Structures are given as structure tokens and as C-alpha cells.
Amino acid sequence: MKFHAVSLVGRLLTIFTVVSTLPAQEVKQGTFGEAGSIEFTSPMILKTVFAATDRSLWGKGDWFAVDEYRNLGKFTCDGVSIRRHYRHRHETWDAGLEVSVRSKISDTVQVRTRITVRNAEHNNDKAVTILMEILDGDQVIRTATFGPIKAEDDGDERSDTITQLFPSELLAKQPPPTLRLTVVAKDD
């Protein structure tokens, strides 16, 4: 499957089917899948909270995650999940999506987003590209792309980080902006 951003976005907008819902999360399949499934084929679309809007979580450059980000780790896209420090014995993991927020100037905020992907054991090597979109309602107000992140087939975990500047008033807006991730995993 070749990845073409323009055709992918258009296709995704026309064929989304909601297959699973968690509190403050929505997971969609770009191609039709079984209702309630946690295993998706590429592309997989995740919609969740944008944790950078919660000022109580801001630190001095420290990374943080919310429960919704940890819950994203239960879903897989062609065997790849957004999780880190997976412990097979207990079927537990840490959030693979983390945020760090620092106020730069009174009207600007620096938001760093780190994503960690884990490729399942005995799965083909994968090149994972993740389109991150910040949404104000249904309107996309900011985009960034992670990857391609190369993850080997041995339970390999790899990360990528993006830094963005946001106007303070955007992060304080009510209702707050949300986050949509489109995960594309292809054999490498």
C-alpha cells in the first residue's frame, strides 16, 4: 500500500466506521472491520483528548500521560500498538503517547509530543507513520507527522518526538481541542 496523504485523508473521511468507543476516545477503521474489534488493519484512526489543554498537568519539561493515552495501547494496527514498556506476563504497559508542556512567553506555549510504537513479536518489520491532527470541533487546526518509525518484528519499541508552539488562548478554549491520530503501518 502506498501512502499518499491527500488520497488517504479523502478516503478516510468517506469510509470511516466507528468500531469501538471508550470514554473520551473513538477508534475507527479506514477499511470495514468487525464491531468491537481491537485489531485493525492499516490505517487506524484514534480520536482522544488533547492532554496539553489541562494546565494542572503542566510541569517543568516533565513528560506526562493521561489514562486515555494508556488505553490507546489496547488497539493494534497490523500488529503495531502505541504503548511502551509492555510486560507480556501481566499484559500491562505504559502510555505510548506522552506530552510535555512549557509556557514560553505569556501568549505562547511549547508542546512536545512523544509517541512510542511497539511491533509485535513474529510480525514483519514495520515502518509506521502517524499523522497527528489537533481538532477544534471538526476543524483541523494543526497537523504534524511522526515517522516513518522503523520497528523490528521482535517486540521492538521505537519513539519519535515533535515540538510545536501553540497560542495560550487555543489551549484554554472551551470546549478544548481534541487529538486525532491516523496510524499507517506497512511492511518494511
In single-letter form, the type of residue at position 35 comes to A
Task: Give per-residue pLDDT as tens, 96-112.
Answer: 999 999 877 778 999 99
* Sequence spans of domains, the chain: 5-187
- Residue 22 or 156, more confident: 156
- Residue 4 or 183, more confident: 183
Looking at residue 42, its pLDDT comes to 86
In the predicted model, what is the mean pLDDT of residues 102-126?
88
Looking at residue 12, its pLDDT comes to 37
- Residue 26 or 66, more confident: 66
Comparing CA positions, the residue from 115, 109, 111, 108 lying closest to residue 130 is: 115
Alpha carbons 30 and 109: distance in angstroms, whole number: 33
Q: Is it true that the peptide bond before 175 is cis, omega within 30 degrees of 0? A: yes
- Identify the helix (H) or strand (E) that includes residue 8: helix 5-15
C-alpha cell belonging to residue 167:
497560542
> In 3-state terms, what secondary structure has residue 23?
coil
Most confident of the ranges 20-24, 85-89, 103-107, 163-167: 163-167
